[in-house]
Chains A and B, each alone.
Chain A
Amino acid sequence: MQLKIQYYALMREQAGRSEESLETSAATPADLYDELIRRYGFTLTREQLKVAVNSEFSDWSRRLTAGDAVVFIPPVAGG
């Protein structure tokens, strides 16, 4: 299935892009991150991240469906 992924901050720099459409068989955000860590060598572990699906915080075990927009959220530093 096709997913839309957006990257921010350190992960945007490490992926070398701010978004992409990806054909994947990953069933959950956790599976997807495992796949992307192999592709881009992200240095942040999954334990350090949160994940959003369709612009809302999500569980790592949520079942992804075609067309979902996924954003991995590195440790925040606003203010």
Chain B
Amino acid sequence: MRFRFTQTAIDTTQARRELLDLGAGGYVSFEGWVRDHNEGQEVTRLEYEAFQELAVKEGERIVAEALRRFPVKHALCIHRVGALGLSDMAVWVGVSSAHRGEAFDACRFIIDEVKHRVPIWKKEHYRSGDSGWVNCERCAATPHHTHAHA
């Protein structure tokens, strides 16, 4: 599987090993971390959930597209689900290739497409006591927030 989910910390040492290739001159990886702020709010923790059956299919399609578009050796993406704290790793992308340029390009392509296409949702919890589903609340036709702000 070139796209998968984990409920526990992403093992980057193991993941990197899956990209090894005698023809590879290097590898590029991207780690997405939980940040302490978003759009003016102080974030204290996150929850990720996914529609895993479809998410794995779409994630696999993205990695397959990257392997067709860029002359790289191997690519892999692992996304965490469940409860995450600040600085925890939410997502890891790794690409090995003969030369660095295409590895950077493929890695960028994969993380950008994953963020746009894979059915994964992120709920942020704020220091104010409020919480919200990213990209779902502020754009909703009617505000969802009915609970009192702390």
In the bound complex, do residue B143 and residue A43 qualify as a contact, i.e. CB atoms below 8 Å apart? yes
Task: Give the docked Cα–Cα distance between A44 and B142 (Å).
Answer: 8
Q: Which residues of B contact A56 (CB under 8 A)?
A: 54, 57
Task: Give the docked Cα–Cα distance between A10 and B116 (Å).
Answer: 18
In the bound complex, do residue B141 and residue A73 qualify as a contact, i.e. CB atoms below 8 Å apart? no
Q: Which residues of B contact A55 (CB under 8 A)?
A: 53-54, 57
Task: Give the docked Cα–Cα distance between A77 and B118 (Å).
Answer: 8
In the bound complex, do residue A71 and residue B79 qualify as a contact, i.e. CB atoms below 8 Å apart? no
Q: Which residues of A contact B57 (CB under 8 A)?
A: 55-56
CB distance from A52 to the nearest CB of B (A): 5
Mind listing 14 A-B residue pairs with CB under 8 Å? A8-B50, A10-B133, A10-B140, A44-B136, A44-B141, A74-B135, A75-B135, A76-B119, A76-B135, A77-B120, A77-B134, A77-B135, A78-B114, A78-B118
Residues in B lying within 8 Å of A, measured CB to CB: 32, 48-51, 53-54, 57-58, 79, 90-91, 111, 114-123, 133-137, 139-144
